[in-house]
Amino acid sequence: MSNRTAVEFLIDELRNHIAEGTLDALAITRLRRQAKDLEKCQIIEAFMEEKVKWVPKIHDDGSMSISNEIAYANGEEYYNQRYK
């Protein structure tokens, strides 16, 4: 995986398209999707590497608490609960 964050990727790509004169609606849509996909991968990877030690836990009644217990089976579940 790249050391660039999704935001850094997006900024670099936007600069490249602007410099090349190729920034249009289609390019923006494609870059947005790529950046969001990269962000998702980075979040899941961070979870799997146990970089996420304290996670919000969503209870059945909709309330939230902070827990140091891993409340999710894997990074994909964590991402889907937190960011979808």
Please give the pLDDT value at position 65.
76
| Model confidence pLDDT, tens digit, residues 26-73 | 999 999 999 999 999 988 887 776 655 566 777 788 887 776 566 667
DSSP 8-state code for residue 60: T
Place of tokens 């947005």: 32
Model confidence at 1, pLDDT cuts 50, 70, 90, reads very low
Please give the pLDDT value at position 53.
59
Please give the pLDDT value at position 62.
81
Cα 58 to the center of its chain, rounded Å = 19
Collapse the DSSP code of 10 into the 3-class scheme (helix H, G, I; strand E, B; otherwise coil) and give the result. helix
| Model confidence pLDDT, tens digit, residues 12-23 | 999 999 999 999
Please give the pLDDT value at position 14.
97
Place of tokens 């579940």: 77
Question: What's the token pair of residue 61?
Answer: 């009644």
Please give the pLDDT value at position 35.
96
